[in-house]
Every structure is written in C-alpha cells, then in structure tokens.
Amino acid sequence: MDLQLTGKTAFITGSTSGIGFAAARALAMEGVRVILNGRDAAGVSSAIERMKKIVHHGRIEGMVADFSKPDQIKLLLDQLPEVHILINNVGIYTSDTFFDTTDEDWQHQMEVNLMSGVRLSRRILPQMLNANWGRILFLSSECATLVPADLIAYSTTKAALQALSRGLAQLTVGSGVTVNIIVPGSTLTEGAVTFLEKVAAAENKTPQSVSKEFFTNVRTSSLLQRFATVEEVASTIVYFASPLAAATNGAVIKVDGGSSGGIL
C-alpha cells in the first residue's frame, strides 16, 4: 500500500526511543523527512545514527528541546521548518501516591505532557490550515481512563490531551487538516523491558513470567493479553498521519489491545 507520504516533513517529540522512535522510523521508511527530538544533544545524535543504520535512504534530522524549559521551547519554535505532520508524543511521569505528589510534580508533568502539544499546535496548525493539508497526532494512554493510583497526575495530563485534540479538530472544519489522538495500551518500550527485568530479578522470576502475571492480575481487561510492540503502535500512527486517513478527524484511536472495554 502506498501511503502517499513521500516528501512530507514530520516532527516527532520525545522520539529518541520507544513509540516515538518507532513512529519516526516507520515514517522515514515511507519517504518522510523526519525530525527527531529529545532533551539532550547526545541522545538526539545517538538516535539519528541508529536510525540511519536502519533507513539508508531517509532524511533524518534532530532538534534538541526540553519541554519543561521555556527558553528551549522558544528556540525550538523559532527554528522549526514547515511541518506537515506533527506527532505530540513526549511524555513523563512521576510514580507516587496522590498525597505525596507535589505541586511541582503536577506542574512539571502538565508542562511537558500537555503544554508541549498546546505550544507546538499553536505554532504549526495555522501553517497547516493555510496549506490546506496537515496531520496532528497526540499520544495519550490507556491510563487516561484506567487510572493507576500511583499515576493520577500523569493520567490527568493524558485525559486532558483528548479534550485538546478534539477541540483542535473542530478548528479544521472544511480543510485538509486532521487532528486525532492515539491511545496506546501497555506497550513493550525500552522502559517497560527494564521494569519487567527489575521486577523479575527482585522476585527471582523471568521477565516473561512477570509479563504474563501483569495481564493475569493487573490488566485483566486486555483482550490481547500481552504487551503491544512499539512497531504495532507505530503502524497505526503512520496510517493516520497519511493522506489515506483523510476521513478520520477528531477521533480517539485505541491501540490498547481492547483493555478499555466498551464499544466507544
């Protein structure tokens, strides 16, 4: 299938690893000029080199910005080229009880997880509307509705992204621009692998058995009953970033293995 993406430019926040890197890699393989993003120059450079070893024909670039730092955000916004595809993927979390999560923790997560998308969309959406084409995708989480007790702040930011995405979509009426939100479930990112290995070592188990127990005891609502791969999530992202997905706008697109339940 030709996704008709050759020649487009995509900016993917938080894309030096995990879902962001996988999405950038998949876009690059479709002929997209991809601009990676991370908090430090070394991490961005390393990600570019890793991707160039996989995608030999692609145009791979990088921009450094920590979305909790206003001066870096301003510089990024000033330097961004015209972007056809914006993927708001960056996200951080603090695992703690509600009562021990400080105002600073809340503010930090809101700045990075929510306000990064607000600021980038405010900068890029007008250009897309003028060009009558563009794709904005936000990355939420199943935690937006399946809220863990130790991730209330994080889950709140991810739920807020769904309202933001729908609101921005309503600004695109009659244009060739779409705004949608992707909701991954439990995904086998590098961080998830590290977590499984840590728990396995502490409990004298294998990572595979810990993973199986997670779905048996914790994420019982999952129909998939395993972690999704980053490639599976990235495939969904790339399709909805393409011209072929023109009829989908303002949607919540679940890639959660059926964990959220219901039919909506």
- Per-domain boundaries in the chain: 9-185+229-255, 188-227
Predicted structure pTM score = 0.95
Q: Tell me what the pLDDT averaged over the chain comes to.
A: 97
Q: Is 93 a catalytic residue?
A: no
- Rounded Cα distance between 178 and 254, Å, is 17
Give the tens place of pLDDT for each residue, 130-149.
999 999 999 999 999 999 99
| Closest alpha carbon to 188 in 22, 53, 30 | 22
DSSP string, 54-100: H-TT--EEEEE--TT-HHHHHHHHHH----SEEEE---------GGG
What are the pLDDT tens digits along the chain (264 aa)?
Answer: 899 999 999 999 999 999 999 999 999 999 999 999 999 999 999 999 999 999 988 899 999 999 999 999 999 999 999 999 999 999 999 999 999 999 999 999 999 999 999 999 999 999 999 999 999 999 999 999 999 999 999 999 999 999 999 999 999 999 999 999 999 999 999 999 999 999 999 999 999 999 999 999 999 999 999 999 999 999 999 999 999 999 999 999 999 999 988 777
- Rounded Cα distance between 262 and 264, Å, is 6
List the end-to-end C-alpha distance of the chain, in Å, as a whole number: 28
CATH 2.30.40.10, applies to 9-185+229-255? no
Kindly report the CA angle at 242 between 19 and 25, in degrees rounded to 5? 35
Write down the catalytic residue from 21, 93, 154, 214: 154
Q: What is the pLDDT of residue 263?
A: 75
